[in-house]
Amino acid sequence: MEDTIARTGGYSNALTSPDWTTYFQTLPSSDLEIAFRFESDRMVNSLYEPEEVETERTVILSEREGNENDPQFLLAEAVQLAAFSQHPYRNEVLGSTQDLLSLTRDDLYNHYRNYYQPGNALLCLAGSFEIDPTLALIKRYFEPIENHEPVRSIPTPEDEITAAQKVELQGPDEADYIQIAWRSPKASDPDFFAYTLTESILTGPSSLSMFGSGGIGNRSSRFYRELVENQLVASVYGSLTASIDPGTFNLNLTCRGDHTPDEVIRKIDLVVEEFLEHGPTVEEMAIALKQARANFAYSSDNITNQAFWLGYAHSFADYSWFTHYVNRLEQVSLEDVLRVARHYLDPTHRVTGVYRNRESLANG
């Protein structure tokens, strides 16, 4: 498929998140039928040949093993497992080694037959095309595919991290790392917009999705000013994702060799305590809003991203969430940010993860 689309001057790819899987093609509108032909075929005729399953298993296990050499991957996985007791968000999308080894060809094929059908999919188009001929093509390729009600496993949302937890890892790396996770509201929660500005003030803005984050820096954020500029850490960034169920807001830091993780965490606590006591300044709100606006624009600045947002917004709300996003941010007040921060950033309801390199442990 990739070769055929590449010959049109286009490209194709796929992404998987905890909430969805998406396949996408960007190609000339005159060749739109090619994408419909491939996607309708994908829904019906994938065979999951045993030898192909084993080949792909080897590839993914190799990817997993490579990630396990990265202390930040290990720390993130451990923190996420601690942040959720039952919800599937606790699991790494790549899968655990045990699951990757135990999955059978029939497990995969049955999953495919259950979920890969038009009634469980959203077809999103963006670009220059004629509506009526395009609808006729959609009917031609997808209407004949048999639909049935998928057997669904709907998890119970976890609305809070019930108590403070600490995760400690150690290994052979040159640096110490910290990751702190607080619960975040689901994207359809009105508080999500105030939370977005809270994140922007504290760590800088996230792109909210897996598509384009643009070039927005975080030098104006509180944690950057207090931790990087004061040379306690080498880097700091945050991550917040728009998700169907409540997720996590993660603070990630790389420590400098002359400051221990415990020193850094004490400083983090002081910054959060100050924020929860007094809230943001008017200037911080203005900067956060400007950055969030710009980051959102970067994430929808081409036709591929615009098509992605059509489906992404529908996964947790509807398309109006996307079209009204900036307006909703502009309606957030100083009081909203303070209220939401006090609710979610309680230090007694978070997971604190630390990866200590063995050399620093030996010297300590």
Look at residue 129 in the predicted model and tell me its pLDDT. Answer: 93
Torsion over CA: 291, 294, 298, 303 (sign): positive
Q: Which pLDDT tens digit goes with each residue over 117-145?
A: 999 999 999 999 999 999 999 999 999 99
Closest of 32, 180, 34, 50 to residue 106, by C-alpha: 50
Q: Determine the average pLDDT of the residues in 94-109.
A: 96
Q: Which amino acid is at 308?
A: F
Integer angstrom CA distances of residue 102 from 62, 106, 364: 15, 11, 41
Closest of 44, 5, 9, 43 to residue 25, by C-alpha: 5
Q: Which amino acid is at 326?
A: V
CA–CA separation, 62 vs 43, rounded Å?
27
Q: Determine the average pLDDT of the residues in 289-312.
A: 87
> Which helix (DSSP H) or strand (DSSP E) does residue 238 occupy?
strand 233-239
CA–CA separation, 136 vs 31, rounded Å?
15
pLDDT-based confidence at 299, cuts 50/70/90? confident
Look at residue 157 in the predicted model and tell me its pLDDT. Answer: 97
Q: Which pLDDT tens digit goes with each residue over 201-224?
A: 999 887 665 555 455 778 899 999
Domains of the chain: residue spans and CATH:
2-142 (3.30.830.10), 165-363 (3.30.830.10)
Supply 6's token pair: 């590449």
Supply 302's token pair: 């081409």
Supply 125's token pair: 């188009």
CB 264 within 8 A of CB 179: no
pLDDT-based confidence at 293, cuts 50/70/90? confident
pLDDT-based confidence at 302, cuts 50/70/90? confident
